[in-house]
Structure 1
Amino acid sequence: MTDFRESLSAPLTTPVLDGHGLRLRAWDPASAADVDAWLRGHLDPEFRRWNTPLHTVDDTAGARTSLERKSADVAAGRAMPFCVTDAADGTILGQIAVSMIDRVLSFARVGYWVLPEARGRHVATGSLLLAARWAFTEVGLHRLELGHATGHGASCRIAGRCGFRYEGTLRGAMWEEGRRDAFRDAHLHARLATDPEPEFP
C-alpha cells in the first residue's frame, strides 16, 4: 500500500492535453522554437504591463535559463508549465501554468499568457479549461486560484468564463509594472473541484 506522504511527493510528468483546437505539451529548453516563443512572450509590452516575473527574461540565453528552471520545478513537483500550441499545425500560441502546487493542502495557482498574434481566438480560455481539468482530475487538487492585477479586464473575463469566481481584492499582492520595490492590488479568483465545469464558448 502506498504511503500517503509518498503519494503527495510523487514526481509529476508533463502530459499532453488536447481539446478546443489546442494541444498543451511540455516546454523544451533545447528547442530553438520554444526558446524564441518564450522570449517573445516575455518581451511583449502587454505581458510586461501586467506581469513582473521573479527573473527578467530579455535575451535568448535568459529565456533558455528560464525554461530550464521551469523544467526543474516540474521535476520537483512544484509546478506544471504547459506550452500551448495549435492542435492542427503545432504553432506555439502561449503558455498556461499550474504553479505553487501544494498536494498537502490540495491547492495550486494558475497563470497564462498568449502571444500577440494568437489573441482573440479563446486560446487562454481553452488552455485554462484544459489545465484546470488536469489539475482536478489527474493531480487530485481541490482548489485552484487565479490572480491578476486590478484593471486587467481581459483576464477577469477569462477567469469568469472558466468558472473561477471572483473572491475579492488582495491589497499590494503583486509587483508594480517593471518594479520589485513597489506593489499593486490584485483580484483573486478561484475554482473548486466541486464547482461545475463550464463549457468552452
Structure 2
Amino acid sequence: MSPGLGLGLRRWSPADAGAVLAAFADPQMARQAAEPVATLSAARRWLAARAEQWDAGSSYAFAVVDGADAVLGNVAVGAVDPRHRTGWVSYWTGAAARGRGVASGGCRAVAAWAFEDAGLFRLELGHRVNNRPAPPGQEPEPVRRPGGRGQDGLPRLPRSGPGRGTCHS
C-alpha cells in the first residue's frame, strides 16, 4: 500500500523492535504509550500487542516506511466496530520524519484501506490536547466528500485518490 511521497504501509514485524524503541525514546512519544517503551523487550511487547489486536480484528496497525523500508511512523485503525463498520484512526511519526507529510500521507492510505479493503463505513480521528500542533502549512488537508450525500442523508465518505484528506468525524 503506498500513500505517495515514496512512502509505503506494511504490517509491523518483530524485526521493527529497534525502530519502535528509537521512536519512543523521543520525549514527545514517551508519554503517548500505555506503558513505557524504554527497552527492546518493551518494544517487542508493543509489537506483539499490535499483532494480537490485528488477529482479533479489533485494530489494524501499519508501519509507515520509506523506499528503503525504514520505519518513519505508525498509522492504525483501532476500536473497530464490525456491526456499525466504524473505526478510530491514530498515528504517530518519529521525530526525524515530522513535517514531511508522513502522517497525512499515511492517514490517507489507511483510510483508503479501511473503506475499500476492511469494509468500514466511518472513521473518526481524534487529537490529544497535549500534542504540539503541526507547523503552519503542514496541517492535515480538510476532508473532501465527493458526491454529496447518500440516500440515507449521510455524507458520502472519501475513497482513495489524489487530493483526498484525512477524515475527521
TM-score by length of 2: 0.79
Structure 2 Cα separation of the partners of residues 40 and 100 of structure 1: 26
How has the CA–CA distance of structure 1 residues 196 and 79 changed in structure 2, closer, same or farther, with 3 Å as cutoff?
closer
Query: Any idea what SS the aligned residue of 1:149 has?
Result: coil
Match status 1:28 vs 2:10: no
How far apart are residue 43 of structure 1 and its match? 2.1
Match status 1:195 vs 2:157: yes
How far apart are residue 151 of structure 1 and its match? 5.6
Number of residues of Structure 1 aligned to a counterpart in Structure 2: 152
Match of 1:46? 28
How far apart are residue 200 of structure 1 and its match? 6.1
Specify which of 51, 54, 65 is matched with residue 74 of structure 1: 54
Structure 2 Cα separation of the partners of residues 162 and 121 of structure 1: 17
Amino acid at match of 2:22: R
Match of 1:150? 129
Query: Any idea what SS the aligned residue of 2:106 has?
Result: helix
Match of 2:93? 114
Specify which of 120, 126, 135 is matched with residue 141 of structure 1: 120
Unaligned regions of 5+ residues in structure 2, if any?
Answer: 145-153
Structure 1 Cα separation of the partners of residues 155 and 3 of structure 2: 19
Give % identity: 34
How far apart are residue 19 of structure 1 and its match? 3.1
How has the CA–CA distance of structure 1 residues 200 and 194 changed in structure 2, closer, same or farther, with 3 Å as cutoff?
closer
Query: Any idea what SS the aligned residue of 2:134 has?
Result: helix
TM-score by length of 1: 0.67
How far apart are residue 125 of structure 1 and its match? 0.6
How far apart are residue 138 of structure 1 and its match? 1.0
Match of 1:19? 3
Structure 1 Cα separation of the partners of residues 110 and 28 of structure 2: 23
Structure 2 Cα separation of the partners of residues 71 and 96 of structure 1: 14
Amino acid at match of 1:74: W
Structure 2 Cα separation of the partners of residues 146 and 68 of structure 1: 24
Structure 1 Cα separation of the partners of residues 64 and 70 of structure 2: 9
Amino acid at match of 2:3: G
